[in-house]
Structure 1
């Protein structure tokens, strides 16, 4: 179950007790009953119905759970608000077709009932279907669709949506098909989180905490919810959305019957779709809602869009500017943006700018027409003085229908792969300004073109021989690279002479530092671009394999929180990597220095931690490859000019394929203090070993202290042990350095934020890999405010010297070499 975490497990694999003495068929006839200890099982043995006690509770509930696979996962509860305190419960089925749940062996009051039937039955039968739906039907009729059921549990969902189940609203009866979280893993009563469809305006999928929207899946555009980052259709699911006079409903069906899939709302608010993996004996995340900062509802305020790959999360739309620039400078974007020039009241010249590839704004106050063309939609918005934007209602078959917005455009975010274009109304003066700018730019382009032609003609004559020589060098460099790698590295190959000139002959004045790979130099190319050059040292413990590994892996990775590899140089014995230059050096340059640490205020530290988490999530889950970094630490996190973090140094990284989740090595390489116990001792590495390193990093950033080198003489604890001790004594805030503690304590919001990040850090460094959360959950926990599980003791929490031999290990210590604070350790078999 390595894909699940403590924060999710409580409601995904609910343990319960049920003393089963009798298993009936899949049906109940009138006059029959099910007593506590008896169950019925669907024909294909997929689901079971009976009495159970959730978690550690002793109270009893009537429910449905998976039987054959994922046994014990509860999907429906009848009496979630009215538990039975003992094992005296009984479910009766009357001759009128009504299900009655009673206590005291049927002698006491009704605890729950199936309520009124849609029509009087002639020969009622209650049946548990292989879909997990518990239905009452007329035994004389052949069931063809849901409309033939007299009553069904699918109409009364709890915290789970199964294939064929609806989310939405019956517009005739007013019944809502909404799933609501349990209060806790031990109490299935309605919690504070719910997922359903908001029918106001044009319907949209929303996740709420109480009455407050915290996540919005967007409106349906004929293919997908506009807030879904996943492409549709796909080979696994078939989605259906119905919006007519009778209902607005969304459901999904599985195209592969062997797959188990469900959507669930966790008691902590974690909501998403989960698939059962039999080889892992657990549920794995297919898609998690609210997994990043841009999923927070209205994070950027009106007329702004959120972009996880941008320099800042929030940016104003074209023709708009920050409403409160002072707030934006402190990263408070909730006030949103206002027009750069005020819109008139349908004044001549007003028009639209196209915002490409976005999740459409909140549609709760929108207007729509299914039959209108996009051209007519534009005219409709122009003529309505209150209209602020328009787009197609349905994007299938070239687009159709009209969707209009009035007032602020709230909760937009960029989706480069799946987003939809939106047309936003702007003032005539702004359009005029843009036209002048384009004309001026066009005139300048013509003038520059004329000059360029003259320059090019001259340059062709003078530079022909130089170009031929450079092309020959480049060709030879690429040939050498291919011979070395036996594959096309898909990277620019830099000429050695060019790099040598850029670094002034690898002058010490240009040297930025030195690590296990070798020295790193600052360089400036002839076009003015500043670069960082990592030059493989002949004495480096990281040899040609690590060089090749870093080139192959990082050349395929692109993310705002990963350092960008520009190219490489392979010439003779030289091996160099050329990166984008990070002017603010590495994270350890700031956090471990008394004076420079003040540059990273608390908001920036939180920003850095969350950026690293997103980068690691990309490596583990969202990239084309599944990458285990194996040497994540503060010195391998670089900071750009805006102090945005970028993970670097992929020399020790490993790629996992398919469903691989763990590997082992006889050559343990990394940095003590960041290594997970299972890796340092047994050579086992996985995503969970990276997460241990991330947890150490989090606690170092928050405390400004190194894990190795920090030592409490009274308890013999390193930083992890010190944090654990403070946590157990409920003194977590004492992790903050004393000179900053008073400042932090004055801001209750900051106190809660720091404690939450300490909590997440401790969850990441737990001794057992299965106890640690995965990165998608870490990102969710860092950005949310729901309740977190209690951490267990961390691994390696006592300071100790590394022994020269370890009889408990299958490896013997071979050599240890330190360069700065980097320790590279190799093990060889005995």
Structure 2
């Protein structure tokens, strides 16, 4: 028996080595099985074609050394992002990478062997796969369990999904620089994450050379924004898996933050640690990390201490050459693509012109910037800390950044009116050259454009849609089927998730991960490799809704940015699968609390007021401050999601419609929505406008106050909540609408105010209802007197919870993202 076992072992070993040297293919697709080898001329390519694994060389001292590494495939000779044997080079081209009989990945060359992995020897077989994220993973062949991954053994590059710091698996991970540009051996610089101060640090031995300063969360550098956008779990840091960026620790100790430009097909340097943080060049200065001497005074300023400045001490900063006159003759110099200093005040103003006027008429105001997306006017009334140049040479990315306006004396405007910042001067000659090339090539471009338009029109609609998802989704000019309006074309960049990553995140769409199911299909809870929890909305093949509905919702919500709107993280269009990936809301939806006898007690008065205010702010953004006027059309308790802190986020934009600025309402022949929340003009005539959403908000407000559904039974002259509230109001008993579960209200008059606002919103005529701007103003003013409401809608309608309207749909189940709403293509 022992002899048979020995012979069997040697037979397997012989087969392994024979198979090892008989593989002739020079490229593998994603997988490396036991018995296969990757020679110095071979490569393994990830499933989506993002990354390659193979041997690379660095010539130095007339000798060639072979290393195994991973690099970005889409750029020729791009940086190697991971090295398997950085401190142990192989000297000959006969080296090969393989999976040994004990299941470990190793590099061999004759009798020499280097173990890449050190998984304990076992009886099961293994295989390796290169993921599209750049992660090399070793798995158990039987149960697909991950035994080892390169993301837990980083070198000098942090990719999306990788972590730095202490992980759940016991690793303490950090980046380490190469020794030189030609030598990947372990260098002297490390990038570490300090959870105590929530900061990244670059170290050389025990010396801290750079710290990102994130312990002060008001410092919004590019690095800090990267920290804030990622999720910190326990005590490690990671970039979001869906981001198109990376950190690279250079051989000089400079930490570079790079972003991928799909337009120019290359990695662009967005920022580096050369400028540091915390006012590195002093006040009234600008830091350009691309310059050898990064610190310069702003236009119209000079060093406060010339001697110290020349010796490299910039802490004193700069001072004005000419004082401001504090009148309308002072003007502003524009700075493009700069990171804004943190010490500013914020005002909610409707336009950049209003922001400009506010600063111009204020003697103490030194500078301003206007954030169009946040509708935020930022004013600097103190010293201006160091500006940082963050130009990326990517005009699409730079044009969305707020422009910084610095106040200067009138005489300085004549000499600096065309100045943006130091980095922009370097780009003037380049832009002039580009302009000449464009003019001389104009005829050729017209011909190419004509050919492109001709070919595009002949493409099938589905093919066009898939292409849009691959290169960045776009809102086409389209006409609403029901007397809608045309919408200008707008590019929407939406991150793509691979099916493999989504499947892994949801445990292969396990029933235990299923949150619920709506008209679109099932929704699953998922957890990405970096720890992010997500909600995956998966289109069912049997769904009455389809590709157009998914596309419409994705195109619309991808462009919305507000704290009270659910955030779309990306999509997956692969293998006949169509999915949307949203941020996960830990407390599901409002109706799960509001209409549950036990959970309702968790909604105290302060929480309910915060939820009402958040919903109002989200709707105001949709109606007035987003790039397009958006009508939600399905606002209800089940479409209000709650995060960990019970903050509300409006979700489910499948029925939403876009209006242009000069259109106030539209008609539809197909009534869709949820009974109890639809306005009378929409339910009866198919007319909808922003006042339709105001009506739904009023119903929702009264439900939040009372803890009762609008479609419930009430023993008064009316059978719905609106009639019940009206009866109480006319009897001067509006305060009695308050939920009986609430016993913590000290100011009863506040209840009356909210009942008043709710009844104003649900009046019969749209003209009588306030706008959301009016509603937000009324909510924020505790002293102003409010107008008396007219009777609410549907007072002549009798119905119960089982009532329905022609063409309407009833809500089935509240899940994290989806409700059973009928979606209408725009």
Same fold (TM over 0.5): no
| Structure 1 length-normalised TM | 0.43
TM-score normalised to structure 2 length: 0.43
